[in-house]
A and B are shown apart, each in its own frame.
Chain A
C-alpha cells in the first residue's frame, strides 16, 4: 500500500462543450485532510463528482490506492472505500434519518443489523442531533442537521476516503465551526478526507495540504498555513485577514 491514497494526474473534464477542469494534478496522502479551495464555478464539485464516477474523464487519470479508476463503475468505487457527501447535502428527503443512514451502507456486503450497529453508534456519537431525530423524515430537518446527515450517511459505507463537497454551505458560523471540528475528529479516527470549500478560511485552518483552483486549473498549492499566508490568496479568498 502506498502512502498516497488518491492521485489525480493531468485530469480534464468537460461539462457539455465547456472545459470544466483542465489538466489538474494533485494527490491526497493516506490519513490526511486535503482541501480544494476556489470560487464558485472553479471546478471543485466537478472534480469530486469525477472522482466518484459521475462525470466522464476526458483526459488524464484517477488512481486510488494504486488502482486506476478509469474502468471502475460508481457503485464499485463506493465498495472500495470512496464515499461522498454531496454539495447541497443530497439527502433523501422522503426517507427517515435512519433510512438515509442505511442507504449509506447500501453497497456493503454485510448489512445485518448487528453489522451496522457499530457504524450507527459511531455516527450517532459524532452527531447526537441525528440520534434525537432518528425517526424523523429527513426533508423536515434543518440545514445543519441535513449536512450532518449527509456526512453521517457517507460514513456508513466505512470509507477510507471521504469526499466532502461544501459542507459549510448555507450554515451559520457557529454550526460551521462545529461541523469542521467533527471533520477533524473523523480524520483523527483514520479516515482520509478530501474537502472542497468556498469557505477558504475555515478549510485552510483544518487542511494539511491545500490546492487553489481557478477556472478549472490549479494555480497554487501548499500546506494550509502556507496558502493562508499567501498574499494573493488572502486578498482574493480570505477578505484580507483571517
Chain B
C-alpha cells in the first residue's frame, strides 16, 4: 500500500523534502525581494540560478576537482565553487537589472511591460547557455574553450564524487553529510539575508523603498542603488542554491532553471510574496509536501501535488501562509 510505504519511508521522504525545500527557499528569496521593492516578478531569476549551476561545475573543473578528490580538498573545492557560483549569479542578476528592467522602469513603463521583458530575458539567457558551443565556434574560440562549450545542449554533471556518508540515523533513515550541509548552508544564508534586511542601514533602505518609495526618496534613499542591491542579494542566494542543488541532483542543463524557477516562485507565493520569512516557510512546506506526495501517489505526481497544494492554500489564505509583505513586515 502506498500509505504504508509513506509511513515506512516517512523520515527519508521528509528529509529529502527538507533538502529540496531549502534550495527552493533560497531561490524564492530572490523572487520575493525583487517583488517587494519593484512589484515585479523577475521571471529571469530562474536563469540567474541556472548560470550558478554551470559556474559550480566549471569552477570545480578549474580547481581540478574530480571523482578522486576527497576530504578537506573536496570541501575546499566545493566552497570555492559556491563562491564562484554566487559571484556569477550575482553578476547575471545585476546585468539583468541594468539591461532588462532599469531602462523600462526609468521611462515609467507599466509593470506588465517589465514582466514581458523578464520573460524575454529568461529565454535569452537560457538559449545563450544552450548555444554557447555555436557562439564559441562562430567566434572561433571553441578550441580554446574546449569542454566548457562542448555539447552545450546536453546534461552537464558534477565532476566530484557524489557518494555521501551517513552521519547519524533517525528512525532507521541515515542522514548524510550532504543533507546536513544543504539544509544548514541554506538556513545560514537565509538568516544572514534576513538580518541584513532588518539590522543594517542598507537593509533598512530596502525596506523603506518597499514600504513607500516616494517617502524613501524624500529620506535620501537612492532607489536605483536599492534596486541593484536587491537584485545582487537575490543573485548571490540563487548562486549558493545552485551549488547546493548540484550537490543534491548532480546534473544541470541550459534549461534546468525553468522548473526550479517555477517551484521557487510557487514557494514564494505560498509563503506570502514579498515576505522574506514566508519564502523560507513556503520553500520548506513545498519541498516536504511534494516529497511526501510523491511517496503517496508516485513520483510522477510530484509537480501535481505541489501545485494542488498552492491552489488549496491560496483558497484559504489568499495572501500566502505568512501573508504580510516585505513592505509591512515587522522589524
**Residue of B with least CB distance to A154:** B218
A201 within 8 A of B: no
Contact between chains at B218 and A107 (CB < 8 Å): no
With contacts A75-B222, A107-B220 taken as known, whether A95 is within 8 angstroms of B331 at the C-beta atoms is yes
Q: B107 an interface residue at 8 Å Cβ cutoff?
A: no
Stretch at the interface among B76-84, B144-152, B199-207, B232-240: B199-207
User: Assuming A92-B208, A92-B215, A106-B201, is B222 touching A73 (CB within 8 A)?
Assistant: yes
> Do B204 and A102 have beta carbons less than 8 Å apart?
yes
In the complex, A86 Cα to B212 Cα: how many Å? Answer: 11
Is A86's CB under 8 angstroms from B218's CB? yes
Inter-chain CA distance A76–B221, complex, in Å, is: 10
Contact A94 B220 (CB under 8 A): no
Contacts of B98 in A (CB 8 A): none
- Expressed in whole angstroms, the minimum distance between the Cβ of A115 and any Cβ of chain B is 13
Complex: A76 Cα to B217 Cα, angstroms: 10
Does the CB pair A93–B205 fall under 8 Å? no
If A103-B208, A157-B220 touch, does A90 touch B214 (CB 8 Å cutoff)? yes
Select B219's contact among A76, A78, A111, beta carbons within 8 Å. A78
Count contacts between A and B, CB distance < 8 Å: 81
CB atoms of B331 and A90 under 8 A apart: no
**A90-B214, A94-B330, A137-B331 given; A75·B221 CB < 8 A:** yes
- A107 and B221 CA atoms in complex are apart in Å by 7
In contact, A103 and B219 (Cβ under 8 angstroms): yes
Q: Which residue of B has the minimal Cβ distance to A105?
A: B219
Judged by DSSP, the binding face of A is: mixed
Interface size of A by Cβ–Cβ distance < 8 Å?
32
Q: How far, in angstroms, from A90 to B221 measured CA to CA in the complex?
A: 14
CA distance in complex: A79, B221 (Å)? 11
Contact of B328 with A by CB under 8 A: yes
Tell me, yes or no, whether A179 is within 8 Å of chain B by CB.
no
Q: Contact between B331 and A106 (Cβ–Cβ < 8 Å)?
A: no
Q: Measured between alpha carbons, how far is A54 from B221 in the docked complex, in Å?
A: 12
**Pairwise interchain contact B220-A90, C-beta atoms closer than 8 A:** no
Interface string of B180-215 (1 = CB under 8 A from A): 000000000000000000000100110110011011
Are B221 and A106 touching (Cβ within 8 A)?
yes
A94 touches B221 (CB 8 A): no
* B214 x A106 contact (CB < 8 A): no
Residue B104 at the A interface, CB < 8 A?
no
A153: nearest chain-B partner, CB-CB: B219
Interface string of A77-109 (1 = CB under 8 A from B): 111000110100011111110010011101100
A195 to chain B, nearest CB (A): 16
Query: What residues of chain A lie closer than 8 Å to B215, measured between beta carbons?
Result: 86, 90-92
| A94-B331, A111-B201, A137-B331 given; A78·B211 CB < 8 A | no
A93: contacting residue among B217, B219, B328, CB under 8 A? B328
Instruction: Return A98 CB to nearest CB of chain B, in Å.
Output: 9
Question: A29 an interface residue at 8 Å Cβ cutoff?
Answer: no
Closest Cβ–Cβ distance, residue B110 to chain A (whole Å): 14
Q: Is the CB of B212 within 8 A of A90?
A: yes
- A92 to B331 alpha-carbon distance, docked (Å): 11
In the bound assembly, the distance between CA atoms of A73 and B219 in angstroms comes to 12
B331 neighbours in A (Cβ, 8 Å): 94-96, 99, 137
Asked whether B214 lies within 8 Å of A94 as measured between CB atoms, the reply is no
Residues from chain B with a CB closer than 8 A to the CB of A96 are 331
Query: What are the residues of chain B within 8 A of A137 when measuring CB–CB?
Result: 330-331
Bound: A38/B331 CA distance, A: 39
Fill in one digit per residue for A112-128: 1 if any B CB lies within 8 Å of its CB, else 0: 00000000000000000
- Is B115 an interface residue when CB atoms closer than 8 A count as contact? no
Are B222 and A92 in contact, with the CB atoms below 8 A?
no
Task: Give the distance in Å from the alpha carbon of A99 to the alpha carbon of B204 in the complex.
Answer: 8
B204/A103 in contact, CB under 8 A: yes
Contact B221 A95 (CB under 8 A): no
Q: Which of A74, A83, A111 has the most CB of B within 10 A?
A: A74
For the complex formed, measure the closest distance between the CB of B105 and the CB atoms of chain A, giving whole angstroms: 15
Please indicate the chain A residues that have their CB under 8 angstroms from the CB of B205 in the complex: 106
Question: CA separation between A94 and B207, bound complex, in Å?
Answer: 8
Q: Is B329 in contact with chain A by the CB < 8 A criterion?
A: yes
Let me know if A52 is at the binding interface, CB within 8 A. yes
In the complex, A66 has a CB within 8 A of chain B: no
**A139 within 8 Å of B by Cβ?**
yes
A42-96 interface with B by 8 A CB criterion: 52-54, 73-79, 83-84, 86, 90-96
Q: With contacts A54-B214, A106-B205 known, what are 19 further pairs, Cβ within 8 A?
A: A73-B222, A74-B217, A76-B220, A91-B215, A92-B208, A93-B211, A93-B327, A94-B324, A94-B329, A95-B204, A99-B331, A103-B216, A106-B201, A106-B204, A106-B208, A107-B219, A137-B330, A139-B328, A157-B220
Q: Could you list 8 examples of A-B contacts with CB < 8 Å?
A: A75-B217, A78-B218, A90-B218, A93-B212, A93-B327, A94-B207, A111-B201, A157-B219
Closest 5 CB pairs of A and B: A78-B220, A107-B220, A90-B215, A75-B220, A94-B328
- Residues in A lying within 8 Å of B, measured CB to CB: 52-54, 73-79, 83-84, 86, 90-96, 99, 102-104, 106-107, 111, 137, 139, 153-154, 157
